[in-house]
């Protein structure tokens, strides 16, 4: 679990990134320091070599000061293959190469044959550049070499554009090696210390940041259907974790209200079931008190049958709703003319209208094509029309009409019943909701819930307009088939 925790992953990621950065940084640093130390050394050697050549020349000129008077100075001063010059160079090296200004720099002077004519005392250990590689110098090229812990600079000194002799200076690389070594050790020590410190700090930071998540997990563990009011403590971090907690609480709120609805439904259902069963029981008890006539038995059984029908219809309605809820209901979708369907339904209830002395009218042009399940749509409109009959008093009016509105068919069912109070309109589509339970004994308050479910499953909807005392209009809108 710990190895998979975000805290662990973040920490490892931190450390890996830092290790990578440090490694590349160290490599670049080491490389740059190495290059710059060596190039400093080369510059130093070059300038020393130049200085030495100049000093030897000065020596040479001073030694020949008298000779320069009169005679052909240039011929006498020729250094190339001149034994006198070799001696002077030797003397200079002997006398001056211990000068503290030269530090631990070694000096050698070669003649144009590549033979050493003068060497400082401290050249022990300094290897010799192989003969073959020496030739380019004799021809006028300078060169740098690294041999056996020494950096060596070999450069020709010119006289009349010809090589007169060669100066070679060398310096031990020890100091550079020590400096680089120190750098290496420093970087090696820095690496684990920094990576570890970052790891510890990263782990701590992740722990602090994710602490609210641990709290949330603990609270969530305690949430059950019975105690949905438990809410997460919202951390005031203004970050994703706060957002997560808020979102979770929102979801809990929605779940809580859904659970409450279910609970209310359950209670309502028990109540609705109990009423007809109690009536049945009462009727049976009464009739069983003494011996009755056949007619009386028949009356009671007829009434019992009615109550049983009520229970069956309740069960049927609930079943339809349950199927809509679980999206189990399969729609036999077919292209149908809604005006034709409505005309049929209206004709079927004409008898009822005559019985209640209600004026029933229908208007609408044929050709309002929609896709839908005719059986479900029949249930939808019957439920609404049934209500209109149920709640409209005798000599009232019911008008059914179908019109085209934009891309929809709008079917309105208008009655002259008592209307629905404004504050109840929002509830009439709720399951088991009935405005006035005593208004009518029949019905469970499920008809409109079913109507709404059908309309919505057909991509449409239902709206209501009602003025208490004047009447109610239900408007069902269903999407038309696109031409």
Structure tokens at 267: 């209670």
The smaller minimum CB distance to ligand ADP, of residues 357 and 436, is found at 436
- Quote the least distance from Cβ 471 to ligand ADP, whole Å: 8
- Quote the least distance from Cβ 383 to Mg ion, whole Å: 6
Question: Pattern 384-423, binding to Mg ion, x per CB under 5 A?
Answer: ---x------------------------------------
β-strand pairing of 162-172 with 150-159: antiparallel
CA distance 392 to 48: 121
Q: In this chain, which residue has its C-beta nearest to ligand ADP?
A: 443
Q: Which stretch binds ligand ADP (CB under 6 A): 46-54, 221-229, 343-351, 445-453?
A: 445-453
The kind and range of the H/E element at 85 are helix 83-96
Alpha carbons within 13 angstroms on the beta-carbon side of residue 441 total 6
In degrees and rounded to multiples of 5, residue 110 shows phi and psi of: -115, 150
Question: Pattern 463-482, binding to ligand ADP, x per CB under 6 A?
Answer: ---------x----------
The kind and range of the H/E element at 462 are strand 461-467
SS3 230: coil
User: Interface with ligand ADP includes 387 (CB under 6 A)?
Assistant: yes
β-strand pairing of 397-405 with 359-364: parallel
The smaller minimum CB distance to ligand ADP, of residues 56 and 448, is found at 448
- Quote the least distance from Cβ 468 to ligand ADP, whole Å: 9
Structure tokens at 81: 């293959």
Question: Pattern 306-345, binding to ligand ADP, x per CB under 6 A?
Answer: ----------------------------------------
Q: What is 370-417 written as a DSSP string?
A: EEE-HHHHHHHHHHHHHHHHHHSPTT-EEEEEEEEETTEEEEEEEE-S
Q: Which stretch binds ligand ADP (CB under 6 A): 12-20, 266-274, 284-292, 433-441?
A: 433-441
User: Interface with ligand ADP includes 460 (CB under 6 A)?
Assistant: no
Specify the length of the chain in residues.
483
Binders of ligand ADP: how many residues, by CB under 6 A? 21
CA distance 446 to 229: 29
User: Interface with ligand ADP includes 396 (CB under 6 A)?
Assistant: no
Residue from 202, 443, 460, 471 in contact with Mg ion (CB under 5 A): 443
User: Interface with ligand ADP includes 447 (CB under 6 A)?
Assistant: yes
Q: Which stretch binds Mg ion (CB under 5 A): 26-34, 50-58, 82-90, 382-390?
A: 382-390
Q: Which does 154 bind (CB under 5 to 8 A by kind): ligand ADP, Mg ion, none?
A: none
Q: In this chain, which residue has its C-beta nearest to Mg ion?
A: 447
Q: Which stretch binds ligand ADP (CB under 6 A): 113-121, 268-276, 338-346, 414-422?
A: 414-422
Neighbouring CB atoms inside 10 A of 370's CB total: 21
User: Interface with ligand ADP includes 97 (CB under 6 A)?
Assistant: no
The kind and range of the H/E element at 113 are none
CA distance 445 to 317: 10
- Quote the least distance from Cβ 374 to ligand ADP, whole Å: 21
Q: Which does 391 bind (CB under 5 to 8 A by kind): ligand ADP, Mg ion, none?
A: ligand ADP
Q: Which does 120 bind (CB under 5 to 8 A by kind): Mg ion, ligand ADP, none?
A: none
The smaller minimum CB distance to ligand ADP, of residues 75 and 394, is found at 394
User: Interface with ligand ADP includes 156 (CB under 6 A)?
Assistant: no
Q: For residue 413, give every residue at least 6 positions away whose Cβ sits within 8 Å of its Cβ, in sequence order, or none.
A: 381, 384, 385, 388, 398, 399, 400, 473, 474, 476
User: Interface with ligand ADP includes 434 (CB under 6 A)?
Assistant: yes
Let me know: does 420 contact 472? Beta carbons within 8 Å: yes
Residue from 176, 411, 428, 453 in contact with ligand ADP (CB under 6 A): 428
The kind and range of the H/E element at 66 are helix 65-68
Q: For residue 44, give every residue at least 6 positions away whose Cβ sits within 8 Å of its Cβ, in sequence order, or none.
A: 171
Among 202, 199, 203, 257, smallest CA distance to 228 is for 257
Residue from 156, 212, 235, 445 in contact with ligand ADP (CB under 6 A): 445
CA distance 111 to 134: 12
Structure tokens at 187: 């970087």
Positions touching Mg ion (CB under 5 A) are 387, 443, 447
Positions touching ligand ADP (CB under 6 A) are 383, 387-388, 391, 415, 417-418, 420, 428, 433-436, 443-449, 472
């Amino acid at each position: 679990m710990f190895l998979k925790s975000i805290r662990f992953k973040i920490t490892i990621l931190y450390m890996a990134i830092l290790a990578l950065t440090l490694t590349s940084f160290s490599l670049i640093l080491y490389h740059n320091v190495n290059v710059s130390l060596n190039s400093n050394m080369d510059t130093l050697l070059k300038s020393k070599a130049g200085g030495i050549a100049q000093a030897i020349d000065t020596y040479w000129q001073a030694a020949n000061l008298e000779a320069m008077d009169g005679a052909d100075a240039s011929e006498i001063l020729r250094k190339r293959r001149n034994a006198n010059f070799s001696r002077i160079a030797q003397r200079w090296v002997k006398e001056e190469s211990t000068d503290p200004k030269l530090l631990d720099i070694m000096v050698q002077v070669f003649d144009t044959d590549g033979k050493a004519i003068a060497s400082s005392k401290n050249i022990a250990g300094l290897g010799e550049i192989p003969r073959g590689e020496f030739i380019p110098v004799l021809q006028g090229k300078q060169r740098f070499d690294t041999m056996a812990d020494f950096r060596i600079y070999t450069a020709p000194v010119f006289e009349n554009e010809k090589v007169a002799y060669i100066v070679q200076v060398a310096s031990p690389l020890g100091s550079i090696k020590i400096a680089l070594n120190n750098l290496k050790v420093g970087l090696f020590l820095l690496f684990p210390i920094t990576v570890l410190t970052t790891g510890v700090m990263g782990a701590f930071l992740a722990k602090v940041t994710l602490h609210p998540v641990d709290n949330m997990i603990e609270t969530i563990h305690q949430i059950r259907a019975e105690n949905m009011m438990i809410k997460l403590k919202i951390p005031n971090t203004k970050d994703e974790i706060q957002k997560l907690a808020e979102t979770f609480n929102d979801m809990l709120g929605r779940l809580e209200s859904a659970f409450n609805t279910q609970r209310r439904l359950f209670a309502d259902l028990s109540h609705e079931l109990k009423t007809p069963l109690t009536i049945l029981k009462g009727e049976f008890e009464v009739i069983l008190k003494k011996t009755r006539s056949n007619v009386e038995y028949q009356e009671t059984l007829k009434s019992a049958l009615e109550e049983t029908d009520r229970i069956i219809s309740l069960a049927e309605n609930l079943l339809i709703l349950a199927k809509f809820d679980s999206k189990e209901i399969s729609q036999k979708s077919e292209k149908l003319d809604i005006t034709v369907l409505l005309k049929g339904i209206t004709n079927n209830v004409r008898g009822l209208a005559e019985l209640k002395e209600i004026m029933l009218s229908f208007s609408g042009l044929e050709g309002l094509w929609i896709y839908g399940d005719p059986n479900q749509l029949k249930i939808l409109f019957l439920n609404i029309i049934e209500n209109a009959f149920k709640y409209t008093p005798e000599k009232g009016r019911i008008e059914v009409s179908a019109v085209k509105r934009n891309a929809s068919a709008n079917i309105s069912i208008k009655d002259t019943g008592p209307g629905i109070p404004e504050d109840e309109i929002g509830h009439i589509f709720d399951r088991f909701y009935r405005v006035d339970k005593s208004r009518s004994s029949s019905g469970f308050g499920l008809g409109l819930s079913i109507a709404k479910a059908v309309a919505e499953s057909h991509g449409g909807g239902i709206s209501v307009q009602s003025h208490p005392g004047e009447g109610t209009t239900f408007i069902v809108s269903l999407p038309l088939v696109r031409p």
